[in-house]
Amino acid sequence: MSQNPLPTPPVVRKIHTETRMHGVLLADDYAWLRDKDNPDVTAYLEAENAYAEAVMAPLAGLREELYQEMLSHVKQTDVSVPYRDGGWWYYTRTEEGLQYGIHCRKRGGPAGAGGDAAEGDAAEEVLLDGNQLAQGQAFFAIGDTDITDNGRWLAYTTDTKGFRQYTLHIKDLETGETLAGEVERVGSVVWAADNRTLFYTVEDEQQKRQFQLWRHVLGSAHAEDVLVYQDDDGRFNLAAGRTRDGKYIVVEAASHTTSEARVLRADEPAGAFSLIAPREDEHEYSVDHRNGLWFIRTNDQGRNFRLVTAPVATPGRKHWTERIAHRDKVMIEDVDLFAGFFIACEREDGLPRLRLWKFADDSAEAAPTGEIAFPEPAYSAHPHINRIFETATFRYAYQSLVTPSSVYEYDIATGASTLLKQLEVPGGFDRTLYASERIHAKAQDGVEVPVSIVYRKDKFAGNSSGTKSSAVSQVPESGTEAPKNPLYVYGYGSYGYSLPIGFSSNRLSLLDRGVVLAYAHIRGGGDLGEPWHDAGKMLVKRNTFSDFIACVEHLTARGYGDPRRVAAEGGSAGGLLMGAIANMRPDLFRAIVSHVPFVDVMNTMLDASLPLTVPEYEEWGDPNQEEYFRYMLSYSPYDNLRAANYPAMLVKTSLHDSQVMYWEPAKYVAKLRTLKTDSNPLLLVTNMQAGHGGASGRYDYLKEIALDYAFLLREFGLA
């Protein structure tokens, strides 16, 4: 696209450093950017921000237009579906003009017909007002929360930097007083059944790993808190919670590939935790409790997990009784356990399934009796908040690329689902104008990769009618006249994370301008179970990148987008994907948007002092071993930059990111500026007051999205 000459980008100085590993010399001219306290580093990041603003200045009107469009689709004053916990109904509401949610409750009994919540005349209690707590802070986030069984004491954590380093607070909900004394670096919090003993986990100062479990008793100083357990294996993180029936506290230690659980009766908080099954490499399991039995989800006989039970007194593996067998093509992602039934949360052919099993009596014998039906070809569905153990209903959340976020209540006896609330989308949204599809692209090794697609039907140029069914055969074959629609493809593909297929009202600003959006369910993610994850990590990680390229080529060949106007987006590990495809196939993309990208793979993974590095060996490999070193070096985006034409790129980071340090994208952009042979924009935007997720306020976040969309629309020729 023709553009006015760009302003002159910043020039950052080079300080040459070298590292020799396995006979390979790693040269780095920008390692000095790691010094966060160096004023020259701050000056460089601010210069890049100023340059980006200068480049985007002609689009100021479009950015404001996009912001107002997205805001028009947000019901600014709203309330979530209340959920019952004990004698209260809990909910979160938002108010127009306020950045953060207000967390509240009302007293009330069980829900009536249609899921009615608290008693109509019950007074609202404000538990936490994010707007008040955030006063004077450029960033604010609430982490974990838990309330005592009697509803009086609230434990919660807050982060005011964006570094995901949380501070523990305890609030008396009867008086509104927040107790004196705080604890830093807290992760999970859980109360015991005595309404006065709190367990919490704490991270170490180097690797941000939750490694200690502490016990606190109300009325005592935190200096008197007792260290209950410490995990010294650098791969493992601790998390504490409680079984749904409330009878046990569970502390899980988990790495990327291995886990173990310790349990303690919730009414004996001063007692000793007991081990369910000792950790064994590559064995993952999780536990819940019902009627004297542990229900254990385990991958001991297959990567996609099975379900077993064991007596409370003898939880070891030799006492396990199988309830659901392992299946090669069905992943058991979770089991939601209740007094009279359980829901097996499964994933089959890349799509979530919620399957009902009913207990015949108080024993563990259960039979599959139904499955919640979903009407669309691509969707997300998962359990909603279900705090009541003895219940005849089950709440779940559902959404798709064209259906707004919805909460349903499923009647266990009848199998009927009742809609409790669907996200209201003001501003004239008509879901019938949009269509979604799910197709498959063939990877370079022949594997079929799912792709989810959404577009506005009357803007789609894929065939003469302007509409298209889900049948792939109706899409033009390769070689036909190039379609007119710009194509925007999103990918992630790491950690076994299944790419959610959700609704976004923000996305309407692209769809209404004729952009086709696609989501590539590439290997490395968990979309087709753990084997799908295994096929895109460690020494086969490059499958993730080649899968994405194959999806883009398939989409353009089948008429879903103009091959001259293709953009890609990814964040964090998805930013690694963006860096890899930019090096492998820069000709395929008009533009790339990369959020907090993990692009300096070698330098990060060779530095065990950084947060996440050691635990991540199980995802990427340990570069101290030569085989992994050479393989990782073959795709590391920073190390493979070269003199070539690159797509227009918008690279975004945050100064206080704890997952991917700001210097990775900063170094990447600085180096790429010296190598690229094109005149396409290369922008680095750093949020100087946020962390891995960007702006914390909902209005500030929309402004960040407006920048992304304006950048894309200009590259698509739509600005």
The catalytic residues are 572, 657, 692
In terms of Cβ atoms closer than 10 Å to its own Cβ (0-12, 13-18, 19+), residue 455 is buried
Q: Which residues contact 397 (CB under 8 A, 6 or more apart)?
A: 380, 381, 382, 383, 384, 405, 406, 407, 408
Question: Among all chains, which residue has been given the structure tokens 């109300």?
Answer: 218
What's the rounded Cα separation, in Å, for the pair 52 and 65?
19
- The angle at the Cα of 325, spanning 324 to 326, to the nearest 5 degrees, equals 125
Overall size of the chain counted in residues? 719
Do residues 626 and 539 lie in contact, with contact meaning Cβ atoms separated by under 8 Å? no
**CA separation for the pair 450, 453 (Å, rounded):** 10
Cβ–Cβ < 8 Å for 53, 9:
no
Q: Which of 462, 569, 585 is nearest to 518 (CA)?
A: 569
Candidates 562, 500, 549; CA nearest to 525 is 500
Instruction: Reduce the DSSP state of residue 579 to 3 states and report it.
Output: helix
Q: How far apart are CA 54 and CA 648, in angstroms?
A: 16
CB-side exposure of 94: number of CA atoms within 13 Å? Answer: 16
Structure tokens given for 458? 């009357």
Contact (CB, 8 A) for 507 and 434: no
CA angle 100/146/307 to nearest 5° reads: 115
Locate the DSSP E strands across 325-403.
330-337, 341-348, 351-359, 366-371, 379-383, 393-400
Strand partners of residue 332:
346
Longest Cα–Cα distance of the chain, Å, equals 75
Q: How far apart are the first and last CA of the chain?
A: 10
Element of type H or E holding 69: helix 60-72
How far is the C-alpha of 408 from the C-alpha of 421, rounded, in Å? 7
What's the DSSP call for residue 483? Answer: P
Report the amino acid identity of residue 498.
S
